[in-house]
Amino acid sequence: MNALANFFTRLVNRYMPDPLVIAMGLTVLTMLLAVLVEGSSPLDVTRYWGGGFWNLLAFSMQMTVILLAGYILARTPLVDGLLDRIAGTVRTPFAAIVVATLVGTIGSWLNWGFGLVIGSIVAQKLALKVPGLHYPLVIAAAFSGFSVYGIGLSGSVPLLIATEGHFLQDRMGLIPLSETIFSAPLLIASALVVLTLPLFNAWLHPKNPRQIVEIDPTTVAIPFEPSLAGNTEATLADRMNHSKVTGIVIGALGLFYVGLRFSDGGSLDLNTVNFIFVFLGILLFASPARYLAALAEGVKIVSGIIIQYPFYAGIMGVLVGSGLVVSFAELFVRISTAETLPIWSFISGGLINILAPSGGGQWAMQGPVVIEAARELNASLAATALGVQVGDQWTNMIQPFWILPALAISKLKLRDVMGYMVLILGYLGLIFSGTIWIWGYLAA
């Protein structure tokens, strides 16, 4: 297995460019496919691309906020201190890989933005404390926990189809979380990932000491902590900025509203998740000045996503405008039965995600096709919808978009970790495809 990991690492080191270059390359590839497969004219394809470039600004902001809120929560004194204590108990590289995977997985199940960040932070802390730990692998292991985000509490598709007024409600109704995230097949899949993925990742650790790349401590950013200590001329405005009363009151008010929302029958959707994490971060930081300092650091982490999301929105514009995504989804639908539609939705969802890495945006394109097929074939609506979501989260392991925050925190390059991500993709493919295949047969 180490030889295989080394092979993929050498391969990507030689041929894989930076994520922005990959996004540009995927743009050209999608435009060519639209011309060659769908017969669209180059001028029309260019119009689709430019017209779609800014179509996901609202969704982009939701994704940016959830990632920023996750980063800020991970940097609160309470959580950061807990991570220090966890890292301080680890002594061996094997244990470090296991811990980083567990933290990233559990965090991503609770909230993908939180897990994406907290996994990378604890991996970095472990790399500083554990001698002989291969830094690229521990970062890859922490990111691999992101593979459960879509079947966790912030999964975009299950939250969307459980929300009153979603765009497919007239065709599929509302599907409660008890039939998706909290269904037996997905709970078992989540448990399998939690129990086995840490061991698989630890197995990948290099045995040859000469192949181990340890962390360079000089690359670790120290979070800025504003303070009034020693400032004898602090103004009233300064004291207000640092007052813990403001943060505690506003943070508590935000969480009180969430309680009212649920008591009034409100559901857990993406905006509610963002609301909870924003105000929980404010409450735990208390001082507005410290919160803003963490926010400034967090903006650096999400900068790559901010500029790259429009490129993928442009790709979606081409996929939708040319009809390429419908043709691609229908190709799998035509060979499906009631029992196999979920697994083909999983495969097509994973492949489309390579071009358009957005659970919510991808569902907007692919959802109408697979749900109409599920109705005609009398297949399980829940299994079919979650097949798309699980396929999306599966190929995120090699889609270079969502790993950008981990790379920004770790100061590593994509090629440093991608060899390990290919192997992790293969292992998770066994768990996820098996789950969706069995679910399709049980639910048909």
pLDDT digits over 194-228, tens only?
Answer: 999 999 999 999 999 999 999 999 888 666 667 66
pLDDT mean over 46-56:
90
Mean pLDDT of 370-378: 92
Confidence check: pLDDT of 3 > 80: no
Range 233-237 average pLDDT: 80
Contact between residue 393 and residue 148 where contact means Cβ atoms under 8 Å apart: yes
Confidence (pLDDT) at 229: 62
Cα separations (Å) of 344 from 66, 184, 248, 306? 30, 20, 49, 32
- 300's enclosing H/E stretch is helix 288-322
In the structure, what pLDDT confidence band is assigned to residue 65 with cuts at 50, 70 and 90? confident
Centroid of chain to Cα 45: 29
Those residues with Cβ within 8 angstroms of residue 103's Cβ, 6 or more apart along the chain or in another chain: 83, 86, 115, 118, 119, 122, 123, 142, 145
Which has the minimum average pLDDT: 82-91, 375-384, 402-411? 402-411
* Range from 9-18, 317-326, 331-340, 423-432 carrying the lowest mean pLDDT: 9-18
Write the DSSP assignment of 231-249 as a string of letters: -TT--HHHHHHH-HHHHHH
Q: For 183-202, what is the mean pLDDT? A: 97
Percent share of the chain, pLDDT over 90: 61
336 pLDDT tier (thresholds 50, 70, 90): very high
* Distance between CA atoms of residues 293 and 202, nearest Å: 35
- pLDDT score, position 274: 84
Is residue 308 very low, low, confident or very high in pLDDT (cuts 50, 70, 90)?
A: confident
DSSP assignment of 369-424 equals HHHHHHHHHT--HHHHHHHHHHHHHHHTTT-SSTTHHHHHHHT--HHHHHHHHHHH
Between helix 414-443 and helix 184-203 the angle, nearest 10°, is 150
Output 13 or 315, whichever has higher pLDDT.
315
Inform me whether the pLDDT recorded for 328 exceeds 90.
Answer: no
- Tell me which residue of 334, 328, 345 sits closest to 435, measured CA to CA: 345
Task: Supply the mean pLDDT for the chain.
Answer: 90
Cα gap 318→325, rounded to integer Å? 9
